[in-house]
Amino acid sequence: MSGTPQLRRSLGLTDAVTVGLSAMVGAGVFVVFGPAAAAAGSALLVGLALAGVLAYCNASSSARLAARYPQSGGTYVYGRERLGPFWGHLAGWSFVVGKSASCAAMALTVGRYAWPAHAHAVAAGTVVALTALSVAGVERSARVARVVVAVVLAVLTVVVVALFTSGAADSGRVLDGAAGGPWGVLQAAGLLFFAFAGYARIATLGEEVHDPARTLPRAILLALGITLVVYAVIGVALLAVLGPAGLADSAAPIADAARAAGFPVLIVTVTACVAAVGALLALLLGVSRTTLAMARDGHLPRPLAAVDERRRVPVYAELAVGAVVTVVAATADLGAAIGFSSFAVLVYYAVANASAWTLEPSVRTRIVPGFGLIGCLAVALSLPAGSVAAGIVVLVVGALAYAITRANNRSDTAP
């Protein structure tokens, strides 16, 4: 690989944090609280806490692994190096298919807010436009991500203040109406985790940050900490204004809460679209980098490993990912995309935690990855049955793809 063009290390700590924030504080915050409330009622706050603990475990494991292996590919690389080629392939496969579905969900969020009557067409057009931006160079993409994060956080701050200070807020609603029991809490955690998972995008940019051994762990934990605070405050505000039942019935919770509090809904709508665009951009970057890493190792078609010598970006990988996501965005259902993505990404993090478990043999260093591994599997299996079934089928297909590519690689190298 030393003779092939490598990606340019042009991103600093702020860039890496904003890429992660744009994936976490993105469209997810505008769509997941409703389904989470339907699963657990006011106990969604417990689900949020569980999702946060699980995200911390995953972030801690990812940070340790990213410092040890500062390469593009994230858990695909970690699983390959720590557990073996099959587990790396399974992690990469889960990431690519799960996050492709997540990209489609972000694009569909743009479509639903911007032009509901033509949501799929708007979604597909958004993917095409952002794919062109990512092909133009990662520095430009990071600059866009920084602007998006600033706008979204500023508007969410104003909205939350307006909700808490309005006559529509009632603190008694926050803990009124738990539902679903422990299973509902687990399902709420899985749905809310969909909106947390952006910190992995930082790890996939391992070849593009300065001093990755120092920058990656700091960026991951900083982005996660900021996101946890933002989500907790928003969750409490939505419950205070809408109540558990109203939140569960809402297709656009923040917009409905803003309407109840007398805050301009148009501002929320525009911000939701901006947030979804930011999340989609960061996700496209991450999926294309994992595709690049898998193609380098022969687990995906090798032409996808090509890096443009002038712009130092994986052009073919980005174009291929953009094409797949465009098709999914033009045809898929938003709810199904979220459920499937959550399952696949939790499997991805299960491999990350299993990989981190092998780094050091002491009991103390294995507590966090051990809890993360068990938690990922438990929450993944608590998701809706359709999402679990589809996810298992895709994992089986990924395992078969590994067997086929391994056999083809052996035949290519045979004398």
DSSP codes of every residue in 75-135: HHHHHHHHT-HHHHHHHHHHHHHHHHHHHHHHHHHHHHHH-GGGHHHHHHHHHHHHHHHHH
Do 298 and 404 form a contact (C-beta atoms < 8 A)?
Answer: no
Q: What does the alpha-carbon distance between residue 140 and residue 70 come to, in Å, rounded to a whole number?
A: 22
Model confidence at 90, in pLDDT bands (50, 70, 90)?
A: very high
The CATH architecture assigned to 13-404 reads Up-down Bundle (1.20)
Closest C-alpha among 337, 143, 152, 146 to residue 231: 152
pLDDT of residue 1: 45
Boundaries of every domain in the chain: 13-404
Do 59 and 349 form a contact (C-beta atoms < 8 A)?
Answer: no
pLDDT of residue 242: 94
Closest C-alpha among 254, 403, 279, 259 to residue 338: 279
Model confidence at 200, in pLDDT bands (50, 70, 90)?
A: low
Closest C-alpha among 248, 277, 272, 299 to residue 73: 299
Q: Could you give the 3-state DSSP secondary structure of residue 366?
A: helix
Amino acid in the structure at residue 409: N
Q: Is 383 left (phi over 0), alpha (psi -120 to 50) or beta?
A: beta
Q: Is it the case that residue 315 has pLDDT exceeding 60?
A: yes
Q: Is it the case that residue 332 has pLDDT exceeding 60?
A: yes
pLDDT of residue 201: 66
Closest C-alpha among 385, 369, 147, 162 to residue 275: 147
Closest C-alpha among 291, 285, 321, 135 to residue 198: 285
DSSP codes of every residue in 223-290: HHHHHHHHHHHHHHHHHHHHHHHHHHT-SSHHHHHHHHHT--HHHHHHHHHHHHHHHHHHHHHHHHHH
Burial 360-386 (b: 16+ CB within 10 A, else e): eeeeeebebbbebbebbeebbebbbee
Q: Name residues whose C-beta falls within 8 Å of residue 222's C-beta, 6 or more positions apart in sequence.
A: 13, 17
Burial 3-42 (b: 16+ CB within 10 A, else e): eeeebebebebebbbbbbbbbbbbbbbbbbbbbbbbbbbb
Q: How confident is the prediction for the chain on average, in pLDDT?
A: 86
pTM score, whole prediction: 0.83
Of the given ranges (298-302, 343-347, 349-353, 375-379), which has the lowest mean pLDDT? 298-302
pLDDT of residue 113: 78
Encode pLDDT of 273-311 as tens digits.
888 887 788 788 878 888 888 888 888 888 999 988 877
Q: Is it the case that residue 36 has pLDDT exceeding 50?
A: yes
